[in-house]
Amino acid sequence: MLAATFYDFIAMHFQNAIARLPSATCGQGLTTSSLGAPDAQRTRQQFDTYISTLLGLGLTVTVLPEQPAFPDSHFVEDTAVVGPEFAVLTHPGAPSRRGETATIEPVLWRYRGVTRMSANAHMDGGDVLMVDKRFFVGLTSRTDEAGVREFAAAVEPFGYRVDAIEVSDGLHLKSIVNYVGRNTLILNEEGARNPAFAGFSHLILDKAEEYAGNTLWINDTLITPSGYPDTLAKLQTVGLPILQLDTSEIKKMDGGLTCLSLRF
């Protein structure tokens, strides 16, 4: 009872998710991995299981039609950041992905007022970690200082604090740092040394399992990639239910579990 009271300070709760079907062109997107081309049919199966998992956790899920002209467009997380009071439409860091935001914007307006980022700023939603009333924003090859400034201007009026985090390893901040409930972050060594994360308990990723740092918290259930036993054992210490999903094909395109949806 005491423990439950202690952890109850997190007010973050998701009711909705927006996702997009992967298209047959999904293997033509951007990637740094050397795992080979993804199988489009298996990508679709892994995506379908992901959607069923979100539905099983009680979220209302909107699945948008596929966009073959944008092979990375099912990584919908990068196009926007949605909080309880706002939506910020990003200006994605990769030129080939900038056209993805046009079809997300009208969907966001159904739920929130939308602020558009200017063309001078760059940000991918994968660099934005929300923990209750705080945002940690990774400075990466996709997100720059102007992106952080414009994002902060959009969310600070709602009482959010924004901290920029230098990231030298991994595509996005959420490739290597995620919130896993009970005031705990799962993160790599670099993240663990960052004073911005000092107020949290840390689960430090084994170097060989960094990919599993992209574990998704949904209302005190954790969804983690299957096949990472050391990370699984660490996550079990948090004491929340854990679901494991096969992300082998998603990983081939540098994607993970957070990338496949916007949650709010």
Question: How far is Cα 19 from Cα 100, in angstroms, rounded to an integer?
Answer: 12
- The residue annotated as part of the active site, out of 26, 74, 91, 259, is 259
In whole angstroms, what separates CA 222 from the centre of its chain?
Answer: 13
CA distances from 7 to 73, 159, 193, 198, 201 (A): 36, 21, 24, 17, 12
Which one among 256, 261, 263, 264 touches ligand CIR, defined by CB under 6 A? 256
Residues 6 or more apart in contact with residue 233 via CB below 8 angstroms? none
172 is catalytic: yes
Asked if 216 touches ligand CIR (CB under 6 A), the answer is no
By beta-carbon distance, which residue lies closest to ligand CIR? 126
Strand order in the sheet with 242-245: 216-218, 221-225, 242-245
- The residue annotated as part of the active site, out of 74, 91, 122, 172, is 172
Question: How far is Cα 158 from Cα 40, in angstroms, rounded to an integer?
Answer: 41
Strand blocks (E) in 9-53: 16-20
Quick one: 141 or 183, whose CB is closer to ligand CIR?
Answer: 141
Looking only at residues 104 through 143 of this chain, which bind ligand CIR when binding is defined by CB under 6 A? 126
CB crowding 48-69: b at 16 or more within 10 Å, else e? eebbebbeebebebebeebbee
Asked if 63 touches ligand CIR (CB under 6 A), the answer is no
Binding segment (CB under 6 A) for ligand CIR, from list 25-33, 103-111, 200-208, 223-231: 25-33
259 is catalytic: yes
Tokens 């409930």 map to which residue?
181
Which one among 38, 50, 72, 88 touches ligand CIR, defined by CB under 6 A? 72
Which one among 50, 75, 211, 228 touches ligand CIR, defined by CB under 6 A? 75
- Smallest separation, CB 178 to ligand CIR (Å): 11
Residues labelled catalytic: 172, 259
Where on the chain is the footprint of ligand CIR (CB under 6 A)?
A: 29-31, 72, 75, 77-78, 94, 97, 126, 172, 253-256, 258-259
